[in-house]
Structure 1
């Protein structure tokens, strides 16, 4: 399988409903909850790409461009954007869909870097 095919096969999509227990006093999704969901989706995409043990080493500039209101559906999309020797970078985007309308827009995006580790928790090649 080519690298391009592995990247395409590892694209990860997760859908969630934004319920009141995940929102703040403005009735929008907690930023920390969004970041945790993004890290999880990034981890899944990275693992699906290389099938190795991975650890998150950084999250780079997460842009919260639009608040995500309660009572919406979100789609998190994780995609490999960089492959190093022992590391991978994953872009995660969060899209918002209204429950009862056709509206859809991107609300948050950011990048997460992972390092593959061996049984001694030392960096190991991702490929």
Structure 2
């Protein structure tokens, strides 16, 4: 059981980026008012993509509002929660997730294992352009 969001964030990040999948990343990234908890630039199928992450132990409704606020700037917007909240997500928020399409949910176990609870679709159009992202990461 996680007692603080910071612990959830650190546990997830250590496992998620173990293989250095994020070419660039920033915690508390100012892509919107209030900042996204984490934004990553990753390469997927030969293209660069921006992912946003919101970490929450409780107040899941707020997490969804924040993730939705990140959507204009990310190919996928993720909510990261303790795995014990999985049934809540699937029982209460599945229709919302189906409607929003580009918001996904990741559950994290206290020992660091994580898995996708809800897989989002890949958004094709965002406010950042592919060429701008390439410039940001060229030479890495």
Q: Name which structure has the greater RCO, CA cutoff 8 Å, separation 6+.
A: 1
Normalized per residue, the structure richer in helix is 2
Length-normalised TM-score, structure 1: 0.30
Task: Pick the structure with greater CA Rg.
Answer: 1
Normalized per residue, the structure richer in strand is 1
